[in-house]
Amino acid sequence: KMMVEAKTKRNKYSYTAAFKANVPQDFEGGLSMLEAMQREGITPDMVTINSLLGLCAKSGLWRESIGLLESSQRSQLSPDTFTYTSIISAMHRAGEWDRALTLFDSLSRELKVNHPLVTVVTEASNRIHQWARALDYIDNFAEKQWRPQISLYHPLLESSIVLQDVVKNMQKHGIRMDAQRVVMVLNNIHVVSQWQ
């Protein structure tokens, strides 16, 4: 049986351990565990909230993720980069690309931006055809952190409209094109030229 059902005295650490050991596969299961904690007067920590937010991200439950954020803030918990990456990912998965980018833009100065977060906002920018914005995110990330990985460019390489700008940006950050990516670029150019 789960640790939370044991007869021992429960506290936030036992719930967090139970949550980690029995990671629910869906948001409803995670929410049930959270509600059990709260019924016993135990305030969940950010690890538990972030675990639930990860489930929201996988399912595109952006409204639920905002609710969890607000609840955690009322409990005086401090959201971190993982928190916001999960919320923005949930928005992205739900097709709420403008909303995801607006949230990111409002937080980007406060957050320690990481590769998964920049990947999500780059993909969201690409979805709404704001390629220059995506390249700006990559540039800002490179200035704050380290050299971008090639995977950040994948969504943009699929769009031959901005291909030249993407390749220049990659070169600026020291990323070289391998044979597979050159073929992808050439295929994109060929497809577009057929439609023109």
- Angle, CA 68 vertex, CA 67 and CA 71 arms, to 5°: 85
* Residue 31: predicted pLDDT: 83
State the pLDDT at residue 109. 78
Nearest to residue 16, comparing CAs of 52, 67, 68? 52
pLDDT of residue 142: 84
pTM (2 d.p.) = 0.75
Residues near 120 by beta carbon (within 8 Å), at least 6 away in sequence: 85, 88, 89, 92, 100
**Per-residue model confidence (pLDDT) at position 186:** 63
The predicted pLDDT at position 53 comes to: 92
Whole-number Å distance between alpha carbons of 114 and 140: 11
Consecutive H or E run containing 163: helix 163-172
What are the average pLDDT values for consecutive 10-residue runs of the chain, which has 196 residues?
A: 49 66 71 84 86 90 95 90 95 96 88 86 90 88 78 73 76 77 62 43
Which helix or strand (DSSP H or E) is residue 72 part of? helix 62-74
Would you kindly state where each structural domain of the chain is located, as residue ranges?
A: 1-104, 113-196
Domain 1-104: state its class: mainly alpha
Predicted confidence at residue 4, as pLDDT, reads 45
